[in-house]
Structure 1
Amino acid sequence: MRLREYLIDVADSQSIEELWDMHVDKMAEFGFDRLLYGFTRYRTSTSLGDPSDFILLTNHSPEYTSVFIDEGHYFHAPMVHWALANQGARSWKLLAEMKNSQTLTPEEARVLEFNKEMGVTAGYTISFQSTSVRTKGAIALTAKAGIEQEDVDATWAVHGTDIALMNNIVHLKILSLPYTAPNRSLTPRQREVLEWVGHGKTTQDIAILMGLKAATVEKHLRLAREALDVETTAHAVMKAAFANQMFILDR
């Protein structure tokens, strides 16, 4: 598939699942058979936020993600540290340079050892431009088993500009599509009441507009807060808006 055709398909994607499957297949054409994409809106100086609030997409095996993500290895990964401090694309030859110069922390060294055991040894990381000090997105492109870093770098020398462009466009498209974290989806009623709150309507207003009792509206708001794991309705509106779960077309 040519670049223009691919980007047209990206623009036409109607769901993150559709987009991600297509992108995984496209990156495999360049020798990257495992991808890990992450985005947070809740970054601070000491944290990336609650992992359950991340947009997290990957085709790595559960054996890998259960340790790297669920056990928090990502927080000590050298290329994650690089991505947080930079933007653009970076070869994983940086890891060999850090190892040779003995600048790895013990925690970083353990992550590299785990990655080696899992065959995650060669690749590229792309850190996307942030629009806020709170946000950060990046993607790790892992090369197929048996491909050396020098071969990855040779591929990048020829196709790197196109690969970086495709990943940046996919990143922007992901941020435009509805995303539902596990166990945090809203029902149509919960979404509707939050939308009316977003329009500045009171509980009584919403009850009239939706033909419900005020107590029923309050129930939907409470369940929406619980689904999104927040304490206030204002926070629920913000989180639902960030995840594009409000004012969306049902397809």
Structure 2
Amino acid sequence: MNIHAVSRFLGSLDDIAAAAAPFEILEELSKVLRTFGLRHLLITGLPSPSKGPWQQEILYDGWPQEWIEHYSASEHFFHDPCALHSRYAGEPFLWSELSRDLMTARQLRVMDEATEFGLRDGLCVPVHLPLRGPSVITVAGERIEISEEDLPTVEMVCVQAFRALRRIHLGDNESHHHTLTDREREVLTWVAAGKAAEDVACILGISRFTVERHLANVREKYDAANTVQAVVEAVRRGEIRP
């Protein structure tokens, strides 16, 4: 990723974090996704059948109206292989990466019917946050153009948008989050520089367990799904320097 792309990416993260209304978040997210050919967007929780209608967990429905109506009427949600895989996946995945040979006839029906509504290719970004059930940002289009090296960028923007939408939806305020301690900032700075936990422990003269505990605290404070996202958020807030 060149310096101009990095600058645009960080600018998108800042704009999403500063957004005061859902449409501002979604507009910035959509702008990023369109560069990869991703036109349709659904952001939703992934509840179990016992939790009630899954539609109650939708944060944003940007799927074609005809498809979402057909999808709901056909009760596709609990047979959708992308939704099922997103419950356990730790990283973004392309729809094409799911093996059709391992799908049931019901799951194949979901995927085949999606293509009839213009959702021929797609990407799922699972979101697993502390003390919350799994969620997913699903984006799709007729044809997507995204490389493996682009996936972390797309994931960060999607998760940032998810967190911002929940903040507004739940009435949260970013100022409620604690700032980092000096030690947490120090540990995160070394991690941002590419050091592994063992290296940071040696440099700072502390145990690896202590390093991991500090990183876990940072992820919790920032509501981050992983340490990479925590680093990006710390840079955005000015807690550490890139």
* SS at 2:119 equivalent: coil
Distance in 2, Cα, partners of 1:52 & 1:60: 13
Which of 62, 68, 71 is equivalent to 2:71?
A: 68
Alignment match, 2:83: 80
Percent of matched pairs sharing the same residue? 17
Alignment match, 1:138: 136
Give the superposition deviation at 1:86. Answer: 1.9
* SS at 2:43 equivalent: strand
Q: Is the 8 A contact 1:16 1:179 kept in 2?
A: no
Q: Is the 8 A contact 2:16 2:24 kept in 1?
A: no
Alignment match, 2:96: 93
Distance in 1, Cα, partners of 2:67 & 2:22: 22
Q: TM-score, normalised by structure 1?
A: 0.59
Alignment match, 1:239: none
Give the superposition deviation at 1:52. Answer: 4.6
Moved over 4 A (4+): none
* Gapped regions of structure 2 (runs ≥ 5): 1-6, 172-242
Alignment match, 1:231: none
Alignment match, 1:246: none
Q: TM-score, normalised by structure 2?
A: 0.61
Distance in 2, Cα, partners of 1:163 & 1:52: 24
The correspondence of residues 124-203 of structure 1 with structure 2, limited to 5 A, is 124-132=123-131, 135-143=133-141, 145=142, 147=143, 152=145, 155-178=146-169
Distance in 2, Cα, partners of 1:114 & 1:90: 20
Q: Is the 8 A contact 1:55 1:179 kept in 2?
A: no
Cα RMSD after superposing both structures: 2.3
Distance in 1, Cα, partners of 2:119 & 2:137: 14
Distance in 1, Cα, partners of 2:73 & 2:21: 25
Q: Is the 8 A contact 2:124 2:138 kept in 1?
A: yes
Alignment match, 1:18: 24
Give the superposition deviation at 1:164. Answer: 0.9
* SS at 1:178 equivalent: helix
Distance in 2, Cα, partners of 1:12 & 1:176: 11
Distance in 2, Cα, partners of 1:178 & 1:32: 24
Q: Greater Rg, structure 1 or structure 2?
A: 1
C-alpha spacing 1:74/1:17, structure 2 compared with 1 (3 Å)? same
* Gapped regions of structure 1 (runs ≥ 5): 181-251
* SS at 1:8 equivalent: helix
Deviations 1:169-221, CA, capped at 9 Å, x for gaps: 111111111269xxxxxxxxxxxxxxxxxxxxxxxxxxxxxxxxxxxxxxxxx
Q: Is the 8 A contact 2:91 2:125 kept in 1?
A: yes
Distance in 2, Cα, partners of 1:58 & 1:22: 16
Write 1 or 2 for the structure with the bigger share of helix: 2
* SS at 1:88 equivalent: coil
Distance in 1, Cα, partners of 2:124 & 2:140: 9
Alignment match, 1:215: none
Distance in 1, Cα, partners of 2:61 & 2:32: 14
Number of residue equivalences: 165
Give the superposition deviation at 1:35. Answer: 1.0
